[in-house]
Amino acid sequence: MGEAKIGVPLLGDKAPSFEAQTTKGKIRFPDDYRGRWVVLFSHPADFTPVCTSEFVAFQKRYEEFKKLNCDLIGLSIDQVFSHMKWAEWIKEKLGITIEFPIIADDMGRIASLFGMVHPKKGTNTVRTVFVIDPNGTVRTILYYPQELGRNMDEILRIVKGLQISDENHVAIPANWPNNELIGDKVILPPANNQEAAKERLEKAKTGEFECFDWWFCYKKL
């Protein structure tokens, strides 16, 4: 008998629905977050060094996430009392108040819904990140091992980039906004037929946008 397959929502899927107890009271997901972006992330355990550093880093950027109409929700397979005491310790010892909710998933039900437990990495949740849009659709999934803390600036970049892509119907280049080829500019969808390709290069001569070739055009927002 092989190991049971872990179900994971895929990109483009609707995020699973759930109700949960958190450090800020009960939540119903996604109903309580309709119209907002959400970063739902799991951590292996409370009262651990790397997780503590991550929560401080998330809180330091909490206002930036809020400006993007984006909520943070933490989760681990711990009881709510453990979350509360850990948050109190962070406030007392480090001077940081954790303002976003932490889900108490002590039975692992929500972690199972989102594929946050990987049997070969133990019984705790791995460092998972789900970026979910205002329609409840999964837009990004990230996994990190227990020994490597996340880069919160990259998660902020992901939310910003997805919002810009949605609003302007453009693609976001590597390392944006510091791309090695086009800096902070964004990429236009490529032409999908010969006539459109020819027209694309003609339009580029007006200065409306720039092109390396018909399939690689870009512009400043």
Pick the closest to residue 77 from 117, 113, 39, 40 (CA basis): 117
Q: Is 51 a catalytic residue?
A: yes
To 10 degrees, the CA torsion angle through 26, 17, 45, 128?
-140
Q: Say how far apart CA 100 and CA 87 lie, in whole Å.
A: 10
| Residue from 51, 70, 211, 217 carrying the catalytic annotation | 51
3-state helix, strand, coil in the chain (%, to 5): 35, 25, 40
Cβ atoms 19, 32 nearer than 8 A: no
Q: Say how far apart CA 168 and CA 204 lie, in whole Å.
A: 18
Pairing of strands 186-187, 127-132: unpaired
Catalytic residue numbers, as ranges: 51
